[in-house]
Structure 1
Amino acid sequence: MQSLRVVDPFPALRDEMPSQGTIGDRVRGLRLNRRMSQAQLAGPDLSDSYVSLIESGKRTPTPVVARLLAERLGCTTEFLLHGIEPRQRIDTELGLRHAELELQHGDSAVAADRFTEIVKAADEENAMLTAQARFGRARALEAQGRLGQAVEAFERLRREAAAHPERLADLPLTIALSRCYQRAGDRLRARDLAAYALEQAERLSVTEGEIAVDLAAALVEARSEREGDTPGLAYVKRVLDTTGVPHVVDRSGEVHALWHASSAAAAGEDSALAVRLADDAIMAGREARLALQLARAAMHWSRMATAPIDEAEQLITGASQVFAGLPATAREYGESLVVHARVRLRAGDLAGAVELAGAALELSSDRAGTTPAEARLVLATVALARDGNAAADLETAYRTLDGLNRPVFGTDRQAARCWRELGDLYGRVGSTTQQTAAYRKALEAAGVRSAMAGVTADATVSR
C-alpha cells in the first residue's frame, strides 16, 4: 500500500525559549532572557532563596507555584514543567499517530523512519512520548523482518519499563519479544516469555482486548506440536470462546481516506483536527487488526491434532473467512485452506480435503511459502488412503520443497515440518531412500540459520 506524505510534525518553536534540560534550567534561562533577578521573579509570593533552589534542581515547584512562575516568565505551565509547548506536544502526538498508520496500513520502513525522527526530536523531559516512539520503532523493525534489531530494541524497552513503569507497560513488550523470538527460531525463549506474560495477564484478569488477543496468538504459536494441554492453551481457548473469530469488513479505503484528511488538516495548520482524524483512522482499522490476530490464533489451534473436530472446523472456517476478506492476507488464506483440509482429513472427509487442498494450490501460485507443498502432502495422504498410488504427489511435493524460497517469517521451521511429513509418507510407501533424503532435508531446514545472527541494533536513537 502506498504511504501518504505528511507535513513535518516537528516545526521549530516560534519563541526563542530554552526547551532542553530540567525545570530549573528552563526557569533560569527564561528569567535571564527577560533580564529578571531571582527576587523579581519571586515577587511578593515567594522567596528568592526558593527560586534559587528551584533553579539548582533542589526543589520542584508545585502546580500552583509552576503556574505562578509561568505567568511571570511569559510561558505556559506545560512548557515550564515539561519543556514542551501545547502546539509542539500536539504536533508530536500527530507524528506518533501518522507513524502508527504508516506501520499498520503503509510502509513499515517509512514508519520506522518516522518513529526515529520523533525519538530524535523529543527530549528527556518528555520521556513518555519518546518511549511510545521507541516502542513503535521496535514494532516497525519487527514488521520488516529485522528481528535481531527488534529484539534488542524490545529488550532495552523492557529494562526501561522495569525502572520506569509510569512510561512503559511490560506486558505488551513481553508479548512482542515472545513473538520475535518465536519467528527467529528461539522457541524456548519464546515459550518462557509467553509463560511470563500469561502470569501477568492472569493476575490482572486480562482476557479481552488487543493485549489478550496478541497474547493468545503468541501462546499458540510458541506451542510445540507434541505438547499436551497447558495453562497457555486454556487461556487461548478462553480468549477464543469469549471473542470468537468475528466476521470483518475491509475498511482500508475508509482508513486511507481519514489518513489523507488528517494530513490535509495538518498541512492547513489545524493540528487538533488532524489528530482527531488520525484517531478515527486508527480506530477504523482496529477491528481488522483484532480479527486477524484472532484468525491466526484460531488457525494454529485448528492445526492441533488434539483439537475437537467440530470445534476446529468452526474456528478454521471463521479464520478462512477473515483472511479471504482482506486483500493483504492472501498467503494466510491459502495456509488456512490447507489447515481446513487437514481437519477434513481427520474427519474422514477425503473429498472435502481434496477440494480444499486444490483451492489452496490455485491460490498459492507463487512459491513464497510452504502452502503449495503442504497442499500436495494432503493430496498424497488422500491418495494413499484411497488406492496407495501417491507417487506423483510425493514427487511434486519434493520438488516444491526443494525449490522453496524463504522470505516469510517461520518458513524454515514450516519447511522442516513438511520435509518430516514427506519422509513419513515415503516410509508408508516403502521408499526408504527418499525417506532418508527427506528426513535429512528436515534436519537441514530446522538448523538453517538464526534470524538474529550477527545483527546489532542501531544505538543512535537509544535513550
Structure 2
Amino acid sequence: MTTSDLVGLRIKTVRRQRGLSQAQLAHPELSDSYVSLIESGKRTPTPAVLELLAQKLDCSLSYLINGVTAEQMEDIELALGYARLALENGEVKEARTRFAELLENNNLTGLTTLRQDTEFGLALAHEACGDLDEAISILLKLRDQELSTERRIEVAMVLCRAYRDSERLTEAVQVGEQMLAGNARLPWTDPLVELAATVLGAYMLRGDLLRARQFAAELLNAADALGTPRSIVAANWNASSVAYATGHNEEALLFAERALAVLLETGQPRAVARMRTALLQRRLRASPSEAASVRHALRAAVGEHEQTSTSLIDRARVHVELANAEYMTGDYDKAVEHAKSAIELVPEFGHVLGAEANLLLSRVYAAVGRADEAAGHAASVRDWLMPLPDTRRSASTWYATAETMEQLGDSDGAVEAYQRALACVGL
C-alpha cells in the first residue's frame, strides 16, 4: 500500500470508531466527496487538511501520518535516544541490544526515517563490538533503501570503513569511489571529505601509495577551501598517514599535529582517543628511543579509550601498542598482560591485531627463555592471518613472524611465513 492508501485507511478507521459519516467529518470545511477520495487513497491531503482532520477525529496528527500515537512516537524516540547514548558512552554491547530490541517494535515499521536511524545505529554498534560482517550486512540492506543524500554518504563511509577494517580493500575502495563519483559535480562537504579520507586509508593499506599521495593533496585543497574543523581534521590526519607511509616523517608530524590541534578544539573524546593512539604508534615506530615516554602516554590512553565510545578493535589496538612499548622498555610482565588483553577484545581468528599480539607474546617468551610458549604463539599467528586477504599489513606481519620463527629455530615455519609474505605483495 502507498502512503496515501495508509493515511486514508487510518482516517476511515478512526472515523468509523467515532461513529461519524463522511459528510459529518467533512462539514463544514470540506466536501464529503473529497473525504471519500482521501479515504480511498485517490487524493493526498495537504498538511493543513491532515491537521484539520486530526482535530475533528480527536486523534494525533502523528497517528494519521505514521500509524502511531503521540505517546508511542515519544516512546520510540526515547528508546532510540537511550541506544545512541549507550553507544556514545562506550557501552557498545548494551547499545547493540537496545537498537536490536527497538527494531522489533512493530510501530517502527511505518516510521521510515526513525527505522533507518535505528538500522544505522545497530550497524555502528555491531562495528564497535567488532562484528564487522554483521555491520556490513545491515549497511548493504540500508544502502538499497531510499535515503537522504547525507545519510547515503554516511552509510557509504561506514561501509567503506568496515570493509577496510575487514581487510576487504577492493570492496572498500569500490564503495567509496562509487559514492564520490556520483557526487563528483557537487561541491565538497564535510561528509564527502570524511568519506574520501576513508577511501584514502584503503588505498594505503592495499599499497597504492602514488594514488594515495595524489588524493591526499586533493583532499587538503578541498579542506582548506571549506575551512571547517571536520574537513581539516580528516584531510590533515590522512595526509599525515600517507606522508608517514612514504617516508616523509617530518611532513607527517606537521599534518598530524594540525589535525589533533583542531580536533581538541572540537571536543570529540572518541576521535581524540583514536587519533592520539595512532600518533603514539607512529612515534614508537619512528623513534624507538622514545619508547619510555610513549609507554607513559599509552598507559593514559588505555583509560581514555575506556571512558569513550571507541570500538573493541580500537581498544585492542591501544593494548597492542602499549604491549609493544612495555616490551621495548623491558617490562615483560606488562607486555604479556596487554597483549593478552588485546587478544580478548578482537574477534577470534580473523583480525590482524590478534596476529600482532600473538607475535609479540612469542618475542616476549623468547626473551625470558620460555621457548615452547614462544614457539606456540608464533605458530598461532598463522591461524589469525590465514583467513585474511593478502594486504601489505598482512605481509608485514607474515615477514615479522618469519623472522621470529627463524630466531626460534623453526626453519620450516619461517620458510612458509616468508612465502606468505611474498604472496601478500604479489610475488
TM-score range, shorter chain: 0.5 to 0.7
- Work out which structure has the larger RCO, using CA pairs closer than 8 Å and 6 or more positions apart in sequence: 1
CA 1:394–1:191 in 2, change beyond 3 Å: closer, same or farther? farther
Q: What's the counterpart of residue 288 of structure 1?
A: 269
- Superposition map of 1:157-168 within 5 A: 157-160=142-145, 163-165=146-148
Q: What's the counterpart of residue 6 of structure 1?
A: none
> Deviations along 1:118-139, whole A, 9 cap, x unmatched?
2232344311111111112222
CA 1:359–1:391 in 2, change beyond 3 Å: closer, same or farther? closer
CA 1:143–1:433 in 2, change beyond 3 Å: closer, same or farther? same
Q: Which amino acid aligns with 1:180?
A: A
Pick from 322, 325, 328 the counterpart of residue 354 of structure 1: 328
Pick from 155, 162, 182 the counterpart of residue 140 of structure 2: 155
What's the offset of the Cα at 1:155?
A: 0.6
Pick from 228, 244, 258 the counterpart of residue 260 of structure 2: 244
CA 1:297–1:198 in 2, change beyond 3 Å: closer, same or farther? farther
- Superposition map of 1:326-337 within 5 A: 326=304, 328=306, 331-337=316-322
Q: Which amino acid aligns with 1:188?
A: T
Instruction: Tell me the distance in 1 between the aligned counterparts of 2:177 and 2:108.
Output: 35
- Superposition map of 1:183-222 within 5 A: 183-196=165-178, 203-207=186-190, 216=197, 219-220=200-201
Equivalent residues of 1:190, 1:222 under 8 A apart: no
CA 1:288–1:393 in 2, change beyond 3 Å: closer, same or farther? farther
What's the offset of the Cα at 1:151?
A: 1.8
Secondary structure class of the residue paired with 2:174: helix
Q: Which amino acid aligns with 1:96?
A: L
Secondary structure class of the residue paired with 2:204: coil
Structure with the larger helix share = 2
Pick from 149, 157, 167 the counterpart of residue 175 of structure 1: 157
CA 1:20–1:317 in 2, change beyond 3 Å: closer, same or farther? farther
Equivalent residues of 2:86, 2:94 under 8 A apart: yes
Equivalent residues of 2:156, 2:195 under 8 A apart: no
Secondary structure class of the residue paired with 1:22: helix
Secondary structure class of the residue paired with 2:159: helix
> Deviations along 1:12-42, whole A, 9 cap, x unmatched?
xxxxxxx997111111111111111111111
> Deviations along 1:117-165, whole A, 9 cap, x unmatched?
32232344311111111112222333344433322211110011xx342
Pick from 43, 52, 57 the counterpart of residue 59 of structure 1: 43
Secondary structure class of the residue paired with 1:57: coil
Pick from 66, 72, 84 the counterpart of residue 88 of structure 1: 72
Instruction: Give me the TM-score of the superposition, normalised by structure 1.
Output: 0.61
Q: Which amino acid aligns with 1:324?
A: V
Give unmatched runs, 5+ long, in structure 2: 220-233, 239-254, 307-313, 344-353
- Superposition map of 1:267-286 within 5 A: none
Equivalent residues of 1:337, 1:356 under 8 A apart: no
What's the offset of the Cα at 1:373?
A: 4.9
CA 1:155–1:61 in 2, change beyond 3 Å: closer, same or farther? same
Q: What's the counterpart of residue 400 of structure 1?
A: 377
Instruction: Tell me the distance in 1 between the aligned counterparts of 2:378 and 2:408.
Output: 19
Q: Does 1:223 align with 2:197?
A: no
- Once the two structures are aligned, what percentage of the paired residues are identical? 24
Q: What's the counterpart of residue 414 of structure 2?
A: 435
Equivalent residues of 1:151, 1:180 under 8 A apart: yes
Secondary structure class of the residue paired with 1:118: helix
Equivalent residues of 1:178, 1:194 under 8 A apart: yes
CA 1:331–1:247 in 2, change beyond 3 Å: closer, same or farther? farther
> Deviations along 1:291-350, whole A, 9 cap, x unmatched?
2343466468x3999xx879x99xx899847733326366322333477x6xxxxxxxxx
Q: Does 1:324 align with 2:324?
A: no
What's the offset of the Cα at 1:437?
A: 3.8
CA 1:366–1:149 in 2, change beyond 3 Å: closer, same or farther? closer
Q: What's the counterpart of residue 62 of structure 2?
A: 78
CA 1:88–1:46 in 2, change beyond 3 Å: closer, same or farther? same
Instruction: Tell me the distance in 1 between the aligned counterparts of 2:402 and 2:120.
Output: 43
Instruction: Tell me the distance in 1 between the aligned counterparts of 2:96 and 2:36.
Output: 42
Instruction: Tell me the distance in 1 between the aligned counterparts of 2:374 and 2:183.
Output: 42
> Deviations along 1:372-401, whole A, 9 cap, x unmatched?
555479999xxxxxxxx9997999764422
CA 1:356–1:67 in 2, change beyond 3 Å: closer, same or farther? farther
Q: What's the counterpart of residue 309 of structure 2?
A: none
Instruction: Tell me the distance in 2 between the aligned counterparts of 1:410 and 1:360.
Output: 29
Equivalent residues of 1:373, 1:418 under 8 A apart: no
Q: What's the counterpart of residue 260 of structure 1?
A: none
Q: Which amino acid aligns with 2:120?
A: F
Instruction: Tell me the distance in 2 between the aligned counterparts of 1:31 and 1:195.
Output: 52
Q: Which amino acid aligns with 1:366?
A: K
Q: Give the aligned CA root-mean-square deviation in angstroms.
A: 4.9
Pick from 420, 431, 435 the counterpart of residue 399 of structure 2: 420
Q: Which amino acid aligns with 1:354?
A: M
Instruction: Give me the TM-score of the superposition, normalised by structure 2.
Output: 0.65
